Structure 1
């Protein structure tokens, strides 16, 4: 009899533990075909993983420890599903553990990775951070990653949610690090207000260089962004503005020893220290399964670097609750001293406005100054 009682007790304890904790495996796969034209090397047709969004695989879980508090964790890595390789570190997107409470908010620490608050700008982007979207005219500045960090998210107070992040360089000089991977000290804050059909966000973040300053507009800079969305029946409207600032940027801090790129800048052009980026768009839910989205993005860059405007048109069609088809087309127009490309490339001597692609094969994605680019892609995304 005692044996039966003990067994029953153990089963009850196991059942209770199961009810109080959970682990979920999840992921998504995005594969498609892409065509782009406008580089000095001509057009390109490519099979792509992640034109609509990154492919990833991860796990997350929680454990109820009582008093309304749960321990949470998340591990997530990015995949190139065209060749089966990991894009970066195994859990480069997320590797965090923390605590969450409905009344006090959520705190987590570790590799915040793709959770850097600037990446929340997807919610302000009509094209939801596809390949041709909010990051294109900022050379990928709107999707940085951070490590060695901690984050706090408040509960929602009358529609308002606040978020804050800080990450350390883990060097003896706490103000330094290595950009863009394992970057220098950075911090970010975000405010989100939602009521009815309206949502408004403001995001401010700082990414510092190895010297602890702001010396590269698209890699070590300050960013302030604001915008919102408004839903009118089947139509959703977007509008936003972003200012980038890198007061210590110079030809030396940007080009380093790459004298070729510096020498090939158009006359009157030098490393930029600020840029203004604005956009607007609308999405129309044509049917419960089909959506069409149009958006325009524009940037002005100082120190003679000119301006660029990108026009986009996209569509999705849901095959089920977790699988959809997608397509997007874009036309990017550069002014005479701009050569931004469609590739969302990280800013460096050979893939931004300092690259003269008629003499440097390393900058093959960028059009010549004043030249336009066009692109279109289509694919399928499934999640599990």
Structure 2
């Protein structure tokens, strides 16, 4: 009888919660065929996924608490379409809960994106973001940077791809006032007696108008692998976009530094999006990446092009191409565009891809 009562009580509470809140299931899937000109000295063609966008599924909720206050949450995971396997933990992409106010802003806690991604990619690119591939984001001949993480030591070194989130963090984002908004967050190390060891912090500022945006961000992340957690990778950047005729042009500068070794990478990128008819968009970008003498003065030029055709509000097909030329140290200046593949055996690498994407 107690079990029946407990079950009835849980059902009643769940129904009450459902009546007071909204929960949305969402996600996106990307699959295609990629040809790489030089993967460790060999041409390769593979079926791969999560290149134009990562394959994600998630739940987000919002409950009206009254008086302009809301309880909010987001749980998000990543997976591989080709195998169905999880990519990391079940909700390793995002997992946070917080309070949102129309007047005072949003305060959240958990595992969440920091401002190098939120300000310099999500906000800066705005309507251009759906056409920016992961191949357009940072990877190159800088493995000696020393950034811990999967794949290579320099993948997403300036954090603009959102490949890294900030765990155990508290984040505040202000409401937009005349288009101006600011944000700050702190990631706790959760180490006994080590509050400032292996911690992280990030700041962002965005000024968004109908015809342009100006965005800036700063992030410092300390890693156990760098000087026993006392040092890490520091990033800052500034950029924006502006409406030109029927499309957009964008500009970005980022600076990445290993605070222990002094290894530093500067990046300048310019790009733009233009509609080609009612259902097609063309995105192009050029970036120049330059390492300092700690990184053997390695540098790389890269060009990206994506042509996207919309089949419906939720489905599109696309073709993309990328080319990178690396130079500098003869042993380490190997072109490397896509983290899921390997570096070139030379200073040049080209990529061609056709794929399909679906949102739900």
Residues 1:381 and 2:322 are matched in the alignment: no
What is residue 367 of structure 1 aligned with on the other side?
344
Cα 1:213–1:327 change in 2 (3 A) is farther
Partners of 1:17 and 1:116 in 2: CA distance: 30
TM-score, length-normalised on structure 2? Answer: 0.83
Within 5 Å, give how 1:204-243 maps onto structure 2: 204-210=218-224, 211-214=228-231, 220-243=232-255
Shift of 1:305: 3.2
Cα 1:335–1:64 change in 2 (3 A) is same
Partners of 2:249 and 2:96 in 1: CA distance: 34
What is residue 156 of structure 2 aligned with on the other side?
140
Aligned partners of 1:122 and 1:129 also within 8 Å: no
Aligned partners of 1:106 and 1:154 also within 8 Å: yes
- The CA deviation string for residues 222-258 of structure 1, in whole angstroms up to 9 with x for no partner, is 1111000001232210111011122312xxxxxxxxx
Partners of 1:166 and 1:235 in 2: CA distance: 36
What is residue 122 of structure 1 aligned with on the other side?
121
What is residue 143 of structure 2 aligned with on the other side?
none
Partners of 1:147 and 1:129 in 2: CA distance: 25
Within 5 Å, give how 1:43-122 maps onto structure 2: 43-112=43-112, 115-120=113-118, 121-122=120-121
Cα 1:247–1:75 change in 2 (3 A) is closer
- The CA deviation string for residues 36-68 of structure 1, in whole angstroms up to 9 with x for no partner, is 112333111111111101011111111111111
Partners of 1:130 and 1:187 in 2: CA distance: 27
Q: Which has the higher strand share?
A: 2
Partners of 2:324 and 2:316 in 1: CA distance: 26
What is residue 175 of structure 1 aligned with on the other side?
196
Cα 1:148–1:14 change in 2 (3 A) is closer
CA RMSD of superposed structures (Å): 2.1
Within 5 Å, give how 1:19-34 maps onto structure 2: 20-34=20-34
Within 5 Å, give how 1:310-349 maps onto structure 2: 310-337=302-329, 338-344=333-339
Q: Please state whether the residue corresponding to 1:193 is helix, strand or coil.
A: strand
Aligned partners of 1:140 and 1:344 also within 8 Å: no
Gaps of 5+ in 1: 1-12, 177-183, 215-219, 250-271, 346-363
Gaps of 5+ in 2: 1-12, 141-153
TM-score, length-normalised on structure 1? Answer: 0.78
Q: Please state whether the residue corresponding to 1:118 is helix, strand or coil.
A: helix
Q: Please state whether the residue corresponding to 1:37 is helix, strand or coil.
A: strand
Aligned partners of 2:116 and 2:236 also within 8 Å: no
Cα 1:299–1:69 change in 2 (3 A) is same
Partners of 2:180 and 2:51 in 1: CA distance: 32
Partners of 1:116 and 1:213 in 2: CA distance: 20
Q: What number of residue pairs does the alignment pair up?
A: 317
Partners of 2:222 and 2:191 in 1: CA distance: 13
From 151, 167, 170, the counterpart of 1:150 = 170
Q: Please state whether the residue corresponding to 1:136 is helix, strand or coil.
A: coil
- The CA deviation string for residues 288-338 of structure 1, in whole angstroms up to 9 with x for no partner, is 210011110111101123210001111101100111112210110011422
From 259, 277, 285, the counterpart of 1:295 = 285
What is residue 256 of structure 1 aligned with on the other side?
none
